[in-house]
């Protein structure tokens, strides 16, 4: 039995993900020609089998042609590549618990994966390229087990034309130039889901973001023309990092990098250790600061703690949306409660046909998931009080650091912080469609201090 006839790993993306093995590491050696949008790659994948199988499958776009596949260093293995699945037949059957080392040689013009959520994955820019893979675009540029529950470490080596700066996940461990090409090698040691792996290529310069001594190292990679606007629009990001570290617990990675493309982008994009913004998000007026907060919060909620199934997407987007309100409150803007009540009034005018804990693939990125998820958290905060609520969030991010999570795990943990049952809250906000009422603001918080 091969992967195509297995039960889907995730009903939201039934064609994605594969059974029979668990990947522990990807090592990608890539060469990219910007002018012709041509990618040549060798992917070395280290895995362990979870069952004895005749064949194993990887997700890989049909735009990329596979020339050779090796299994455990043997002679070239047989393979087929159809409908986005690279199915490999080892020369010898591998027992359960056995080592599975795959090496795939491939090349072609990388193109985004088309789906219900638009085009995702590798995308050409006016002068460069970006990768934005959520939820199923990783296969547009490398063979993988493309599902959020499949987390692994990465080494990404990318060779491209020397005028271009190249950013990938993790730390830059090696860089060398030969003739007209430069090779950049990045190491990402913390486990990462495939959709969070990224490469950004452009005529960029890297600069350090000024932050207090001892803070998380932060950098910007952007076109020189946007430097002044960036330094104004992102000036409060170090303070944002301080607030989120206090509220959510230690930042989960070694550093944080913001990439700003020379092109406009419809929305910013999160990747592990990286956020990607368009030139339009640097307007010189801090017009996108709430999005700066949203993308930074994803480093905790989405990148370190990653959902096991796409139906639990509110654990990413609801938390990141609520982080916007927390930042507003901390930075002298409207309070989280004020923003929550405004969002509630707006949601009340919209159709009540969404179940937050299982919105369905068509609605998984609906703005109502973001706002209702944030409102669920605000309701929980009002019930628990600030001290218990933020203690819960810090425990949540610490206990599940760099792992996969579910809604049940969060609701179970939250129960330990409440003197009463939280079941009515979860039933109303997560599993019923009608929008519940928000609890009143506690009297001691509603009082206006007097001089």
Q: Can you spell out the DSSP letters for 171-188? A: EEEEEEEETTEEEEEEEE
Clarify whether 295 is annotated catalytic.
yes
Q: CA–CA distance from 348 to each of 341, 352, 368, 438 (Å)?
A: 10, 8, 10, 11
- Is 294 marked within a binding site? yes
How far is it, in rounded angstroms, from Cα 41 to Cα 102? 13
Catalytic residue among 32, 106, 204, 370: 370
Encode the chain (451 residues) as per-residue pLDDT tens digits: 344 457 899 999 999 999 999 999 999 999 999 999 999 999 999 999 999 999 999 999 999 999 999 999 878 999 999 999 999 999 989 999 999 999 999 999 999 999 888 999 999 999 999 999 999 999 999 999 999 999 999 999 999 999 999 999 999 999 999 999 999 999 999 999 999 999 999 999 999 999 999 999 999 999 999 999 999 999 999 999 999 999 999 999 999 999 999 999 999 999 999 999 999 999 999 999 999 999 999 999 999 999 999 999 999 999 999 999 999 999 999 999 999 999 999 999 999 999 999 999 999 999 999 999 999 999 999 999 999 999 999 999 999 999 999 999 999 999 999 999 999 999 999 999 999 999 998 865 654 443 3
- Return the CATH number of the domain spanning residue range 205-297: 3.30.2010.30
Q: Cβ distance 284 to 232 under 8 Å? A: yes
How far is it, in rounded angstroms, from Cα 267 to Cα 367? 13
Bridge partners (DSSP) of residue 59 are: 85, 144
Assigned fold of 309-446 = Neutral Protease; domain 2 (1.10.390)
Taking phi over 0 as left and psi of -120 to 50 as alpha, with beta for the rest, 83 belongs to left
Q: Domain 3-196: what homologous superfamily? A: tricorn interacting facor f3 domain (2.60.40.1730)
Q: What is the DSSP letter of 144?
A: B
- Is 298 marked within a binding site? yes
- Is 242 marked within a binding site? no
How far is it, in rounded angstroms, from Cα 369 to Cα 353? 11
Catalytic residue among 295, 322, 324, 417: 295
Clarify whether 204 is annotated catalytic.
no
Q: Cβ distance 137 to 112 under 8 Å? A: yes
Question: Could you give the strand order of the β-sheet that contains 171-178, starting from the edge strand earlier in sequence?
Answer: 65-71, 99-108, 38-49, 21-33, 151-161, 181-193, 171-178
How far is it, in rounded angstroms, from Cα 421 to Cα 261? 48
Dihedral sign for Cα 390, 312, 329, 269, please. Answer: positive
Our CA angle for 191, 193, 199, nearest 5°, is 100
How far is it, in rounded angstroms, from Cα 450 to Cα 136? 53
Give the start-to-end residue ranges of the domains of the chain.
Answer: 3-196, 205-297, 309-446
């Amino acid at each position: 039995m091969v992967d195509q006839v297995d039960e889907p790993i995730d009903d939201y993306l039934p064609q994605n993900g594969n059974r029979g093995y668990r990947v522990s590491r990807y090592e990608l050696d890539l060469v990219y020609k910007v002018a012709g949008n041509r990618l040549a790659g060798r992917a070395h994948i280290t895995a362990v089998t979870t069952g004895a199988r005749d064949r194993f499958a990887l997700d890989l776009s049909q735009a990329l042609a596979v020339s050779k596949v090796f299994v455990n260093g043997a002679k070239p293995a047989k393979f087929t590549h159809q409908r986005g699945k690279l199915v490999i037949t080892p020369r010898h059957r591998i027992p359960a618990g056995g080592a599975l080392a795959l090496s795939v040689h491939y090349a072609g013009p990388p193109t985004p994966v088309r789906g219900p959520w638009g085009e995702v994955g590798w995308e050409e820019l006016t002068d460069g390229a970006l990768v934005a893979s959520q939820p199923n675009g990783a296969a547009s540029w490398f063979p993988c087990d493309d599902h959020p529950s499949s987390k692994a470490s990465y080494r990404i080596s990318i060779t491209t034309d020397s005028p271009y700066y190249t950013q990938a996940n993790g730390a830059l461990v090696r860089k060398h130039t030969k003739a007209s090409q430069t090779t950049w090698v990045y190491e990402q040691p913390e486990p990462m889901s495939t959709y969070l792996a990224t490469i950004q290529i452009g005529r960029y310069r890297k600069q350090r973001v000024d932050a207090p001594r001892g803070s998380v190292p932060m950098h910007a990679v952007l076109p020189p023309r946007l430097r002044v606007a960036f330094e104004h629009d992102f000036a409060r990001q170090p303070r944002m990092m301080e607030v989120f570290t206090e509220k959510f617990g230690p930042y989960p990675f070694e550093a944080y990098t913001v990439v700003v493309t020379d092109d406009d982008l419809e929305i910013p994009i999160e990747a592990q250790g990286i956020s990607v913004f368009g030139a339009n998000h640097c307007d010189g007026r801090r017009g996108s600061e709430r999005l700066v907060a949203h993308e930074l919060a994803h480093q905790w909620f989405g990148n370190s703690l990653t959902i096991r199934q796409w139906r639990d997407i509110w654990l990413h987007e609801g938390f990141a949306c609520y982080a916007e309100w927390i930042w507003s409150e901390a930075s002298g803007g409207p309070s989280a409660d004020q923003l929550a009540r405004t969002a509630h009034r707006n949601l009340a005018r919209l159709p009540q046909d969404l179940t937050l804990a299982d919105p369905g693939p068509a609605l998984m990125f609906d703005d109502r998931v973001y706002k209702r998820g944030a409102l669920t958290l605000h309701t929980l905060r009002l019930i628990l009080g600030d001290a218990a609520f933020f203690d819960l969030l810090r425990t949540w991010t610490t206990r599940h650091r760099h792992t996969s999570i579910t809604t049940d795990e969060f609701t179970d943990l939250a129960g330990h912080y409440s003197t009463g049952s939280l079941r009515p809250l979860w039933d109303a906000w997560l599993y019923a469609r009608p929008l519940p009422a928000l609890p009143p603001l506690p009297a001691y918080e509603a009082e206006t201090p007097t001089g």
